[in-house]
Amino acid sequence: MKSAKDIFSEYLSKQKLKMTPQRRTILDAFLNEEGHVSSEELYNMIRKEDSSIGQATVYRTLKLLAESGIAKAVDFNDGVLRYEHKYGHDHHDHLVCEQCGTTIEAVDPEIEHLQEELAKKHGFVLTHHEMYLFGVCKECQDKSE
Amino acid sequence: MKSAKDIFSEYLSKQKLKMTPQRRTILDAFLNEEGHVSSEELYNMIRKEDSSIGQATVYRTLKLLAESGIAKAVDFNDGVLRYEHKYGHDHHDHLVCEQCGTTIEAVDPEIEHLQEELAKKHGFVLTHHEMYLFGVCKECQDKSE
DNA sequence: TTCACTGCAAAAGATTTGCACCCTC
DNA sequence: GAGGGTGCAAATCTTTTGCAGTGAA
């Protein structure tokens, strides 16, 4: 199976773009992250090790990573765009705790199927979807008792 | 059944806030809109009739409308926050056409139910959810043939 | 009379862009 | 060597906020 780095390299050359040390650094940092990173978070992590990389490059590279299919943009409605791993990770939806901010990733095949049906009923051909379930997680429920 | 205006008035007085001509104007303009309006769109509409209302007031009032339960914020990931009618309108999800921007509102009771189940399985108590299905609508499919 | 409300302009915060120099292919 | 890439700072764009004056209750 191809590594994320291979995918990215291939994407770059296909688009006649270039691999650079900065892009490598940012890709590595991104791959080392779990969860959902914002551009700024990633920038701060990277800066600790290589302070010569600029914010703009991180923004630009994350966009490229999304285009190449390695990253996926997710929006929790808090004003910051985050990115999560996409390549090698299955599609999933998000359960977001409104109190502590924890997010859980989950999929329900039945829901996925019904979404297709619903789209078809309205004449749509789906390209992708986003589902966010907002609520209170177990821990926060216990806490507030 | 209470009108949206009543709801808003009650909300204001409960919060010790005041009803003002500006708020009345903005509420009216919002209620006259169908679909999903951004603050700026609403501001532009209002300005045609009363150019003395400021942007900031529109932003501030839409926030109030959302708090009072009359409006609901929706985010189609295009950088602008939109508001749609909530009071007197059932909950629904969105089908968004990525080509022409059309949105269709839809609900599937079965999906709604499964969402609850999914949340329960992960120990969450749901407060609300958002589901966006992105794809290509009938018209745009026909167009590109 | 008392605070909340408003318009304005300035501020803030996230992201994008212009530009001159740098470096990959 | 050509053309894309980079850092930096300035520019954008949406939304928020400070302030001094205005007005609803």
pLDDT of residue A121: 95
Confidence (pLDDT) at B78: 82
Long-range CB contact pairs, B83-91, < 8 A, 24+: B83/B30, B83/B36, B83/B37, B83/B38, B83/B39, B84/B35, B84/B36, B84/B37, B85/B30, B85/B31, B87/B4, B87/B7, B88/B1, B88/B4, B91/B128
More confident site: B20 or B34:
B20
For residue A118, pLDDT beyond 80 = yes
Partners of B80 on chain A (C-beta within 8 Å) are: none
Which residue minimizes Cα–C1' distance to C13?
A79
Choose the weakest-confidence range: B25-29, B38-42, B75-79.
B75-79
Return the pLDDT at A133: 93
Q: Which chain A residues are closer than 8 Å to B135 by Cβ?
A: 119, 124-128
State whether B124 and A138 contact (CB < 8 Å). Answer: yes
The residues in B 39-68 lying below 8 A from A, measured between CB atoms, are none
State how far residue A50 is from chain B, nearest Cα, in angstroms. 31
Q: Which of B84, B99, B93 is nearest to B112 (CA)?
A: B93
For residue A99, pLDDT over 90 is answered with no
Give residue A1's pLDDT band: very low, low, confident or very high (50, 70, 90).
confident
With tokens 């999304």, the residue in question is A66
Picking from A125, A123, A128, A121, the residue whose alpha carbon sits closest to that of residue B134 is A128
pLDDT computed for residue B90 by the predictor = 87
In the sheet with A103-106, reading across from the earlier edge strand, the strands are: A103-106, A93-97, A125-136, B125-136, B93-97, B103-106
Q: How far is A27 from chain B (nearest CA, A)?
A: 24
Which chain D nucleotides are covered by protein, judged by CB under 7 A? 3-10, 13-18, 23-25
pLDDT at A50: 85
Across chain A, mean pLDDT equals 92
Question: A17 and chain B: CB distance < 8 Å anywhere?
Answer: no
Q: What are φ and ψ of residue B56, in 5° steps?
A: -55, -40
- pLDDT of residue B131 exceeding 70, the answer is yes
Distance A89 CA to C25 C1' (A): 32
Residue A77 confidence (pLDDT) above 70? yes
With a 7 Å cutoff on the CB, does A23 touch strand D?
A: yes
Average pLDDT, chain B: 92
Question: For strand D, is any atom closer than 7 Å to the CB of B109?
Answer: no
Confidence of residue B13 (pLDDT cuts 50, 70, 90): very high
Say whether residue B97 is in contact with chain A using an 8 A CB cutoff.
Answer: yes
User: At B106, phi and psi to the nearest 5?
Assistant: -150, 155
Task: Say what the pLDDT of residue A145 is.
Answer: 65
Estimate to the nearest angstrom the gap between the alpha carbon of B120 and the chain centroid.
27
Distance from CA of B81 to the nearest CA of A (A): 9
What is the C-alpha separation between A43 and A26, in angstroms, rounded?
Answer: 8
pTM of this prediction?
0.82
Between CA A18 and C1' D3 the distance (Å) reads: 10
The string of pLDDT tens digits covering residues A14-67 is: 999 999 999 999 999 999 998 899 999 999 999 988 889 999 999 999 999 999
The pLDDT score that the predictor gives to residue B145 is 65
CB A85 within 8 A of CB A60: no
Q: Are B125 and B84 in contact (CB under 8 A)?
A: no
